[in-house]
Every structure is written in C-alpha cells, then in structure tokens.
Structure 1
Amino acid sequence: MDIVTVGPGINNKYAGFFYATDRKIRNGLIRLGHNITHISDRDIASSALGLRFVGKKLANRKLLKVVEAIKPDFLILFQAHLIEADTLLALKKRLPNCKIANIDNDLIYTKTRFLRLLKFKSLVDVTFITSAGEHLKRLRKEGLRSAYLPNCTDSSIERGNPFIDVNLTYDFIYFAGDVLQSRRWELPLKVASIAPDVKCGFFGHGKTRIFGSRYFQLLKNSKLALNWNKMNDLYLYSSDRISQLFGTGRCVCLYRGSGFQRFISEKEALFFSDADDLASKIRTVLHKDQWQEIAQRGQDHYRTLFNEKRIAEYIIKFTFDENISNYEWCDV
C-alpha cells in the first residue's frame, strides 16, 4: 500500500528522540513491504518563523498537497496535534476510500487530551491508544472505534545484551522527567533507602529529561530497570519506556497493579507490589545472578510479541477489518 504518516520529525527533541514509537512503526510498515511517505506537521509549522497560527495553517495545507500527489490507501496520524478536523474532512471528500488511523501515545487523563481525540470522532476509521481499562471504555462509549496498542520495540533501534556483561555501573536504574518532589520519585527513593547496598542510578529529576545516545548509554549500563509511570494502576498502561527497557535487554521491574501479567510472566520480568517487595526481589536476583536470565527471557519474549512489524501489521488489520484473532491483545 501507499501510506502517508504524519507526526514528529527531526526537530522533535532536536533529533534526540530517534527511538520514538512512530519511527519504529514506520520501520515496521516498510519491512512489511509498504511505501511510506512521512511528513512532520510540527517541523512544517516551525518553519513559519515562530508564528504558530501561520505554521499550523501551513502544515494542514502541506498535508493536503502531499495526499493529493500520492493518493494514499492509508493515512496514519501519530501525535499529529496540529492537524485540523477540517483538513481530514477535505481529505475524505477527495479520497473517500482512504482509511485514517489516529495513534496517541499519551496518557489520556486530562479533559484536554480526551477532547483532542474526540475532535476526529467521525473522521478517522480507528483510534489507537496505549492504555486499556477506563480510558479505552470511555472512548468507545463516545462512539469512537478504538483499540489498545502495545508499545512496540525495534531491535534495530533498541539494542543491547546486558546478560553477557556483568561489569555494569548500575544495579538498578530509573528515568523520570519530573521534579524531585513528585510522587513518581517516592518509590525508587524508598527502594534506595531500604537497600543501600544496591547501586542505583536515578535520572531526570528537576524535569531534566535525558534523550538520545546518552539515554541509551546510561540504560545499557544497568542490570535492572524500573518501569514506573505517572499512573501505575491503569490497566495495561505504560509510557513507551517499557519497550526501551525490554528492547535493550534490562531485567524490567513491573508493578503488579498494571496488569502486564496478562502478557509477561514472572520468568520474564520482576513483578512487585511495593517498595519493600521490590527491594527484596532486587537483592535476591542480584545475589543469585538471576537477573541475567530474566533479562534475556524478557527481551526475547517482548520482541516476539511486540516487535515493530507485528504492531504495524496489527494496525493495518484492525483498521481494514481483517482477522486479528492471533494477536494476544485483540480482546482488550
């Protein structure tokens, strides 16, 4: 198929977010044999000398020109927040057979983010979000054809084999772009106080988020990594960091309340209930050198279930009403 994708471009985090989900899904689509044309609404808008209103209009106009030239079978929006409903309406009139999917990786916990999805309600064929539970139910109640989309990994981007290298700087690592007073830091800091013998690396406090090669260098120099989000009891929700942790082969620490036991077993991740439980399990797997086996099994399993080709294929099949019964999350 000819597919046009719209989303972040090279200016996103000054190219430091080269491991973003949209990049991996585009790789998957290409590896499935599709012809992909990508445009960045944000990069186009930024060319308007900082005039946001002008830049937004320019981005929407460019999208229509690209679509008119290519006449795609499928349009995929990735966090394309500058694209207007009127633009999609015009596109639908010109290409009534072109399917449209809207993919949003953000946690849909504010009214603004929820309304952002609703504005395309009658214009997109499907809306994908990376959480299940109440947020997905709410979208469906509003009449959106919605589906859960796992965070994908791409072995050409997320590389690493910590289970063959024991000379790593950190036993336990955590990243969070948030102020130190945030509740997100309470759990990792408590783990560090309970287990002072564990070499911890905590990064991102003070909202100084780390991107690019430095992020991967730090991550690949750790044995265990904590997947801990702004909301941790929302069914099957995680930021895309979960794919980076599993993809690079860390021994991933997952909160039991997240529900990921549906896909990942105790042999493939370190599940915990609270800080005391996590600290105890970290010490155990480090002392017995079990973290390496868990890391390897976790990486292999996550890459099998949630690789970029499989997720891209699921997006196509769900959008085009094809059989999706062989995907483990099809009934979420």
Structure 2
Amino acid sequence: MLRIVHVAYFPVSLSRRNQHSVEIKLSNGFTRNGHAVFNLSDRDIARAAGFGHYRLGRRTANQVLREFCREHRPDLLVLGHADMIWAETIAAIRADLPQLRVVQWNVDPLFEPGNVARILNTIDVVDATLISTAGPALEQFRRPGRLAGFLPNPVDVSVERARMDQVAAPAFDVIYACGNPHRPLRVVCGQSWDMEAFTQALRAQAPGVSILTPGMFGQKLLFGAAYQDGLEQAGIGLNISRRSDYFLYSSDRLAHLMGNGLLAAIERQTGYDQLFSDDEMIFFSSMEELAGKLKFYAAAPVARMAAAAAGRAKYIELFNERRVAEYVVEAAFGRVAPGDYPWPDVLR
C-alpha cells in the first residue's frame, strides 16, 4: 500500500462549496483501496498566506508542499488542478524523494488554450498526465517515457447518493444547471446558443415538460448541499457542455446525474454512445430529437426509471471511484496498457 499526497482544491473553506468534486472522490477511492492519503489544498494555503489573495501566497504554498512531502515521504504525489504549484517545486520534491512518482489530472476542457498551457507547465516533471478528454486531442501531451491518458469523471455512491431512478413522480421532469448561460455561447448540435434562448426553444418544442434551471432566468446557481437537493428534484438531467466535438469530454456533471439515478441526456457526438446504449442514456443529434425523447420519458416514468437505473449501474461499474483511483495509481507507475480498462487512449 502507498502513502499518497493529493494536492487539489479541496473544500476546506467556504470559498469551495463543491461536495461533488473529483478530488474528493479520488481520495475516497485511494483510501478505500487501502492507501494512506494526505490531502492538501494549495489554493487555500496560498490564500491564507496572501491575506486573502492566493497569488500573493503562492511562494508559501510551494514551500509548504515541499516541507509536507519531506515530512510524510509519499510514494505518490497526485496533482489535481494544483495551479499554485510550480514545476521547479515538483522537481525539487523529486530530488528530495528519488523514488517518488508523480501524476497530474485535469478535468477542464482542452478547447481552452489556458487549460492546455497549465497542463504543459508541469508535463515534463510528472510521470503521467490524465485528462477528461480522449481521442486526438491527447496527442499534444505525448512525451517519451511518460504516459498520457483519458480520465473518466468518477462516480461515488457516498457522494451521488440519491436514487431518482426509483422516483416515479419527481417535482420536475428535467434539470439543467448552467453557470454563465450567456457567455461564452455553447455549441449544441452545431449551432451556437445563449443557453437561456436554448432552454426557451426547447420548452417550446416540448410543451408540458417541466425543466428546473438553476443559474438561469434569475435563479441562483446551486452549490454544495443545495445542488444535491436540486438533483433530487428531477428524473432527467440535461448534460450540455460548451462543445461536444472533443471525444468523451464532459463536465463532471455527467457523473452527478448518472450517479444520482437521473436519466442523462447528452449529444451523440460526444462519443458516449460507444460506451452506453440508447437504453442507458438519452442521445440526441438535434433539438427536435432531444425534445421528442424528453416528451416520451416525461410521459413514461416506468421507461424512464428503467433506462436511468441501467445507465446508473453501467456508469458505476465503469467509473466508480475505486476503479478510477486504481487507474490513477497504475498510470503513475507506468503499469497501464491499452485494453486494461474499459476506456480508450493510453499514450506513451
């Protein structure tokens, strides 16, 4: 068993209200797989040292991490969006601990140039880079002797704990939680949309389908326990990211929906139809197709619950926190080969 230091934006203060975050689930998975895990929130350390301004405390965060690793002597250092940590700090820690392995994970989209730049900042001082996008976009992270791979958004039934697949009459038919609905525009089925306009158009094509829309039309966006409460009010979850043309990219909303037993609706172009069937998810290629399927499932709760239950079971089988955490460890130590896990794209 390993000693693991996991550096990410853990919700240790009121500035971070995400109960469903990937870092929580991965650390749960590491622990449940028998490893000793030490969590560190780089941003909170930097913010505290910088009198509320994390950039002013960045140097302190790097010093703290190096001392933390000297104290705990981890076998594995896991970096999840640890943007406060410099590459030279990671190199120094590796010099302190020559047997250390290092892996970075990232669940932001690769169509954001700034995100690509952040990944590349540390790619030469880590052993593996795991990203929630598969396909050709991963090629830019291929390095000799280092692994790049797809990271599924993990699900954890201690976090996604509702069973909406067993609720015949939820308060709403559909939920779509959307921060920043106006800018940038989202490309849905090949058309750029302000998401309030999209929702209005969808409602016009699916009359009678009730849609809960936190973050839009003057409703506040939900976080933490309030967000979980929102998920527990609907039977179908609309999963629309800003683009769908990056293979298997989705925000981690997909895990929230499916883990809580909502029937997830996602564009076919994402490629998730290669892992799930039409009896486990709603796939659509046009607004008309989406509206038609929403009307069908809203009027057929037994069919909706059966499809949602099947999708939930498949998602948990494929992407549960223990399996994804095991994959992170195996990738860090270079022990993953194509075909070892039921998702694609391990590059060396």
Distance (whole Å) between structure 1 residues aligned to residue 206 and residue 60 of structure 2: 54
Moved over 4 A (4+): 141-144
Kindly provide the CA deviation profile for residues 223-251 of structure 1, in whole angstroms up to 9, marking residues without a partner as x. 11111001112110000000000000001
Q: Alpha carbons of 1:265 and 1:44: their partners in 2 closer, same or farther (altered >3 Å)?
A: same
Q: What residue in structure 2 maps to residue 90 of structure 1?
A: 92
Q: 1:217 aligns with which of 229, 237, 259?
A: 229
Distance (whole Å) between structure 1 residues aligned to residue 13 and residue 263 of structure 2: 29
* Alignment RMSD (CA, Å): 2.0
Is the contact made by 2:87 and 2:121 (CA closer than 8 Å) also made in structure 1? yes
Q: What residue in structure 1 maps to residue 283 of structure 2?
A: 271
Distance (whole Å) between structure 2 residues aligned to residue 184 and residue 132 of structure 1: 27
Percentage identity across paired residues of the two chains:
31
* TM-score computed with the length of structure 2 as normaliser: 0.90
How far has the Cα of 1:141 moved from its partner?
7.0
Distance (whole Å) between structure 1 residues aligned to residue 86 and residue 319 of structure 2: 31
Is the contact made by 1:121 and 1:143 (CA closer than 8 Å) also made in structure 2? no
Q: Alpha carbons of 1:84 and 1:162: their partners in 2 closer, same or farther (altered >3 Å)?
A: same
Q: Alpha carbons of 1:299 and 1:65: their partners in 2 closer, same or farther (altered >3 Å)?
A: same
What amino acid sits opposite 2:26 in the alignment?
A: I
Q: 1:241 aligns with which of 253, 256, 259?
A: 253
* TM-score computed with the length of structure 1 as normaliser: 0.94
Q: What residue in structure 1 maps to residue 190 of structure 2?
A: none
Say which is worse superposed, 127-136 or 240-249, in terms of deviation.
127-136
Q: What residue in structure 2 maps to residue 327 of structure 1?
A: 341
Is the contact made by 1:184 and 1:229 (CA closer than 8 Å) also made in structure 2? no
What amino acid sits opposite 1:197 in the alignment?
A: G
Q: Alpha carbons of 1:15 and 1:52: their partners in 2 closer, same or farther (altered >3 Å)?
A: closer
Q: 1:139 aligns with which of 138, 141, 165?
A: 141
Kindly provide the CA deviation profile for residues 69-109 of structure 1, in whole angstroms up to 9, marking residues without a partner as x. 11110000011000001101111111121000011111122
Is the contact made by 2:3 and 2:75 (CA closer than 8 Å) also made in structure 1? yes
How far has the Cα of 1:216 moved from its partner?
1.0
Aligned length: 332
How far has the Cα of 1:196 moved from its partner?
1.7
SS of structure 2 residue aligned to 1:77: strand
Gaps in structure 1 of 5+ consecutive residues: none
Q: Alpha carbons of 1:41 and 1:331: their partners in 2 closer, same or farther (altered >3 Å)?
A: closer
Kindly provide the CA deviation profile for residues 113-162 of structure 1, in whole angstroms up to 9, marking residues without a partner as x. 21111111220001111011332122227996311001000000101112
Q: Say if 2:47 is the partner of 1:46.
A: yes
Q: What residue in structure 2 maps to residue 282 of structure 1?
A: 294
How far has the Cα of 1:207 moved from its partner?
9.6
Q: What residue in structure 2 maps to residue 189 of structure 1?
A: 200
Q: Alpha carbons of 1:276 and 1:141: their partners in 2 closer, same or farther (altered >3 Å)?
A: farther
Q: What residue in structure 1 maps to residue 30 of structure 2?
A: 29
